[in-house]
Every structure is written in C-alpha cells, then in structure tokens.
Amino acid sequence: MNFLVVLHSYLRWILLVLLLASILKGLSGLGGKKALTAGDKKLWLFTMISAHTTLLIGLILLLFGRMGIFTNPPPAGTSVMKDATYRFFYMEHPLMMIIAIVFITIGRGQAKKSIPDAVKYKKAFWFFVVALILILAAIPWPSRFGRPLFPGL
Ligand code: HEM
C-alpha cells in the first residue's frame, strides 16, 4: 500500500506537467488559425489517462490504504467532519480532484467533437485551467499536512 501512496504522489507531478503542457497547447490555438494537430490530441489523451490513473489509485487508497475506510477507519468517536485531516482526505481532496478530473475529461473530449478547431482549443484551454486550479488547491502540500513533495528522496 505504501508503494501506491508513493505512486499516487509522483503521478501528481506527471499530471501537473502534462496538464500545464495541455494548457499551453490550448493557448497556442486560441488565435484561431491553427488546425488541431495529432500531437496535441495525443497530449490531451495522455493528460486524461494520467488523471484517471491517479483517480483509480486514490480510490484504492481511500478504501484500503493506511487511512482507508475499510482497512483503517477513524477511531470510534472521531467526527470526520470536525477533524481537519479526515475531512481533507475523506471529503475535500477526493471531491475536488474528481471534479477536476471530470473537467480534464470534458476538455480532452473537445478534440472529438465536430466543432471548429479554434473552438476545441478554446474550450479545452478553459476546462484545463479550471482543473489545474482545483488540483493545485486540493493537493496536500507539505505546509498543510506534512506530506512530502517527493516521497523517498
Ligand atoms: C488529480 C488527482 C489527485 C492528485 C494530484 C492527488 C495527489 C495526492 C497527494 C500528493 C497525496 C499525498 C501523498 C503522500 O502522502 O505522499 C495524496 C494522498 C491521498 N489521496 Fe490523492 N490525489 C488525487 C486524487 C485523489 C482521489 C480522486 C482520491 C480518492 C478518491 C484520492 C485519495 C487520496 C488519499 C486517501 C490520500 C491519503 C493516502 C495516505 O496517506 O494513505 N486522491 N493525493
């Protein structure tokens, strides 16, 4: 399970880099003169796949991890909503990340629509930007919960 926490943590960096690159690609098409390239489509697809993989591992951690609902539930008498750590890892983190991943999925889906390429770029850009803001807000940065930036290093 520890391996999955580490994997989940490092996937954050892969996703952030891919998402940033996807945003820049979206930006590059905002002028309306560029046709959607196969490379940009591929980048958006990989961004979505890394988001979905992070989600899947997150779900496993939430259910079966070291603070998993089934494997290590909060001690009797703990109010999940009143405890900042449980509230974050059981509610805020999963909810905001799932919403962000829905936005990434919709953003990437623009590539498959029969709309002008300029509109695809514009819509994808905005969906990715909102997703990035949500993800940055919902990551357990070291200052909040003491979780490492690069576990194991
Ligand atoms: C974009 C999506 C996500 C990112 C970037 C992300 C990032 C992170 C990071 C950086 C940690 C800290 C890891 C550490 O302690 O070293 C973490 C922990 C955790 N995440 Fe996520 N996460 C995402 C989505 C999710 C989702 C969708 C869920 C649940 C459905 C989830 C559940 C958890 C849980 C339960 C932990 C605590 C694991 C533990 O300490 O045992 N995550 N996440």
The answer, yes or no, to whether residue 1 has pLDDT greater than 80, is no
Q: Give the Å distances, CA to CA, from 64 to 1, 71, 77, 114, 126.
A: 8, 5, 21, 42, 34
Confidence band (pLDDT; 50, 70, 90) for 153? confident
Amino acid code (one letter) for 41: K
| Mean pLDDT for all residues in the chain | 96
Q: Which atom of ligand 1 is nearest to the CA of 6?
A: 16
Nearest CA to ligand 1 atom 21: 58
Among 64, 97, 102, the mutation site with the greatest number of ligand 1 atoms within 8 A of its Cβ is: 97
Helices assigned H by DSSP within 1-153: 2-28, 38-64, 84-87, 93-109, 117-138, 142-145
Domain residue ranges in the chain = 2-73+82-143
Q: Convert the pLDDT of each residue in 60-114 to its tens digit.
A: 999 999 999 999 999 999 999 999 999 999 999 999 999 999 999 999 999 999 9
Residue 131: phi and psi, rounded to 5, are: -60, -45
pLDDT in the model for residue 78:
93
